[in-house]
Amino acid sequence: MNNKKSYILLFYLLALTFGCKPKTELYLERGLDILSNKVNVNFDLYDGIIIEEVGVIRDQKEGTKTLVFKLNENTSMNDLLSKDVFLGVRVWIIGKNAQKRIENWDFKPNLIEVEGYKYILKRINIKEDQIKKMKVYLYQEKNGRKQKMGSPLILNKVNTYND
């Protein structure tokens, strides 16, 4: 009987250890199919780098928000990653008391693959539940100035909550 209890306890410990994935990982594994705030854009950012969907994953348990760009499965960024290319993200936010502010979340993009889906991710620090406007573009820095590459993607009303 004691042996049976040990197996049951071991089973529950394994289930807890391997069954509790972060929310972000679950959404990525499923290709964002159940993410309620995603926006379908199918936008060619630059030279075949196609953003299919944009969304924000809020993980209340982890206390994080992650901006997600789901890319077309044929997208390759090898050429761009070898250059000094950045992803520019400029957001217009209306905070409490109707206070307006602009933030830049520029970063060097990393292409990640999860279950065959390709993504670019950016952790964001924002308390508001909505971004009034978002502008996404690629650029290179030359002589201390941004040289934009391709056309910008402009989105209105991006929700930063998903539950």
Domain boundaries, the chain: 22-159
pTM across the whole model: 0.84
Report the DSSP pairing between strands 64-71 and 85-94. unpaired
Torsion of CA 107, 125, 27, 21, to 10 degrees: 110
Identify which of 9-13, 20-24, 143-147, 151-155 has the greatest average pLDDT.
151-155
Tell me the H-state helices in the chain: 2-19, 23-29, 78-82
Lowest mean pLDDT among 17-26, 115-124, 148-157: 17-26
Lowest mean pLDDT among 6-20, 21-35, 54-68, 149-163: 6-20
Q: Kindly state the average pLDDT of the residues 129-149.
A: 93
pLDDT bracket for residue 7 (50, 70, 90): low
CA distance 101 to 24: 27
72 CA to centre of own chain: 14
The pLDDT of residue 13: 47
- Whether residue 128 is predicted with pLDDT greater than 70 in this model: the reply is yes
CA distance 2 to 26: 36
Strand partners, 153: 136
What does the mean pLDDT of the chain come to?
87
Torsion of CA 35, 38, 43, 46, to 10 degrees: -70
